[in-house]
Amino acid sequence: MSPASWDGALRGAADALGLGMWRLDLQSNLASWDAVGAELLDREGPQSAAAFVGRLEAGLGEQSLPDWAHDEGWVSAHLSYRTAEGPRYLQLAGRRSGRLWQGSIQDVTQERMLRQRVVEAERLEAIGRLSAGVSHNFNNMLTIIIACLDDAEGQLVGRQSTDPELVRDIHDAQEAARRASAVVNNMTLLTRSDEEVPREHRHIQPLCSGALEGLRHVAVEGLNILQSIPADLWVWQPPGVLEQVVGNLLANANYALRSVASPTLWLSAQRSESFGVATLELTVSDNGSGVPPEIEPHLFQPFVTSKGNEGTGLGLATASELVSAMGGQLAYRPRQGGGAEFVIVLPLAASSPKPEPLSKQGILSGDLYGRRILIVDDEPIIQRLITRILEFAGAKVTSAGDLASARAVLRRPYDVVLLDQTLGPEEGLQLLPDLRASKMTRVLVFSGKGIEPSVMPLVDGVVSKPVGAKALVQAIQNVLSTAAK
């Protein structure tokens, strides 16, 4: 085959692979490329060697260029730049012959984006595994905190000299503890996409008011908050998810306003429509310095942060995944006039839910009068606190901290058993065969990390840690009333 034929065959193969060709002539100090290379580099015609090398340096970032005069060959990791369609990634390869470099240019955008998605998925999966592992112990601590706060609240009720600010602080701490538990549980949702996640109607107006109230204790000095939240906006979401996302965005905005002379934060919501579907647009804005341009393309990737050593880079990545799991989208755009603006877009619920009967506002002595209840939990403090709650409600309580102790006291009959799913190194669910031997005993699994769907038919209900006193008594009453039918 003649040289011309070879050249033609190589050019045809390059075209089929989408390869462009480039040349850097150090003798003439000119760089040039073919038509495919011109399209990939977004450049027309030859240019000076210095301009071409400058273009490479800008796109390569911290990667190093070859020693053009001495290196024999070079393959770049990637050259990146932005286009109207989004980021583009190119790979350059070439060899030197005397003072002439020749090589190829290939578009590797799809390959790189796929690799990034795989890395992000692996990181989020690792986060999910980690959160599932720590959720039990974390929720145990929150259970203690909430029980102590409930007890403190109960002791303050009815006192004439009670400071209203103290009561308010206790309520805020209770809500923060419950939201902290929701954060851990929502992290585990990211690795349970194949499971049916329970959802509930949430009213946007009080949800936003609650998030802003949580900001009150940590707001920067002089913070001006402007909000516009119309009434009658509802979404259908897993419990606590939207609160976590909004709380994260508010915390980020508050952080960005630390050194601003007149710090201002905007929280607004409006009804919109996308492709014939009614949607909620919930916007959090601030007049801070905004997101640095070099971070913006990677803003929602795990472990990317603009807070230096003060940030983990997990907040926005998790928020984005949670909003996607709700069928929505979290987006960023620079705010007009300076600052940052984050927009949550979610499908709106068709209508507000039907009002449910009001539950009891307090625990009455005698709510569980005469009921025999067994607590199986390896945390002595949790045993003590729950025992006090249930005894105040009139129950007769026995407790055990491990499987052997629980089996030893099971010779007596119990109306309800509160069974912790994890008992130190043991699995509390191993006690189920013993408990199911008595058809009269109701079993409530006490869990801080959810239970497998296969276990649900074997128990009468689940009480998620942490749980407040009212909710715990109500859960026990519900399972007892079901048993009586």
3-class DSSP assignment, residue 403: helix
Write out the residue range of the structural domain in which residue 335 sits.
197-356
472, two tokens = 């715990």
Specify if 124 maps to a domain. Answer: no
432, two tokens = 């189920």
CB 443 within 8 A of CB 425: no
410, two tokens = 């099971």
Q: How many domains, in total, are found in the chain? A: 3
Specify if 277 maps to a domain. Answer: yes
Strand partners, 19: 106
Which residues contact residue 415 at a Cβ distance below 8 angstroms, ignoring those fewer than 6 apart?
A: 371, 372, 373, 440, 441, 442, 480
Task: Measure the CA–CA gap between 394 and 371, rounded to whole angstroms.
Answer: 7
Given this model, what pLDDT does residue 3 score?
44
Mark whether 350 and 213 lie in a shared domain.
yes
CATH of the domain at 310: 3.30.565.10
Specify if 94 maps to a domain. Answer: yes
Mark whether 424 and 452 lie in a shared domain.
yes
CATH of the domain at 35: 3.30.450
Which residues contact residue 92 at a Cβ distance below 8 angstroms, ignoring those fewer than 6 apart?
A: 22, 56, 74, 75, 76, 79, 103, 104, 105
Instruction: Give me the tens of pLDDT residue by residue for the chain, a chain 485 residues long.
Output: 444 454 555 555 555 567 888 999 999 999 998 888 888 888 887 899 998 888 888 888 777 889 999 999 998 877 887 776 677 889 889 999 999 999 988 888 888 878 877 776 776 667 666 666 666 667 777 777 877 888 787 777 666 666 777 877 887 787 777 777 766 666 655 555 445 566 788 889 988 988 888 787 789 999 999 999 998 899 988 877 888 899 889 999 999 999 899 999 999 999 987 656 788 999 999 999 999 888 888 888 877 777 766 666 778 888 888 888 888 889 999 999 899 999 999 989 876 665 544 344 455 556 788 899 999 988 887 888 888 889 888 899 999 989 999 888 888 889 999 998 888 778 888 888 888 777 778 899 887 666 777 788 888 888 877 777 888 888 899 888 876 55
Write the CA distances from 277 to 323, 344, 346, 365, integer angstroms: 17, 15, 10, 50
CB 319 within 8 A of CB 248: yes
Mark whether 458 and 402 lie in a shared domain.
yes
CB 455 within 8 A of CB 135: no
Mark whether 253 and 348 lie in a shared domain.
yes
CATH of the domain at 416: 3.40.50.2300
Q: Looking at 356, 391, 424, which one is the last position of a domain?
A: 356
Read off the amino acid at residue 6: W
Mark whether 469 and 421 lie in a shared domain.
yes
Mark whether 386 and 431 lie in a shared domain.
yes
Given this model, what pLDDT does residue 236 score?
87
Given this model, what pLDDT does residue 48 score?
92
Residue found under tokens 């009480």: 463
DSSP for residue 452: -
Burial bucket for residue 358 (CB in 10 Å: 0-12, 13-18, 19+): exposed
Residue found under tokens 């539950």: 359
pTM attached to this predicted model: 0.51
Residue 463's H or E segment, with its range, is strand 461-464
In this structure, are strands 442-447 and 461-464 parallel, antiparallel, or unpaired? parallel
DSSP for residue 196: P
**Sequence-separated contacts (24+) of 126-133 with Cβ below 8 Å:** 127/187, 127/190, 127/302, 127/314, 127/318, 128/187, 128/188, 128/190, 128/191, 128/192, 129/191, 131/184, 131/187, 131/188, 132/187, 132/188, 132/191, 132/449
Q: Looking at 54, 80, 107, which one is the last position of a domain?
A: 107
Specify if 338 maps to a domain. Answer: yes
Phi, then psi, of 419 in degrees rounded to 5: -110, 115
Specify if 154 maps to a domain. Answer: no
Strand partners, 75: 93
Burial track 29-48 (b if 16+ CB lie within 10 A, e otherwise): eebbbbebbbebbebeeebe
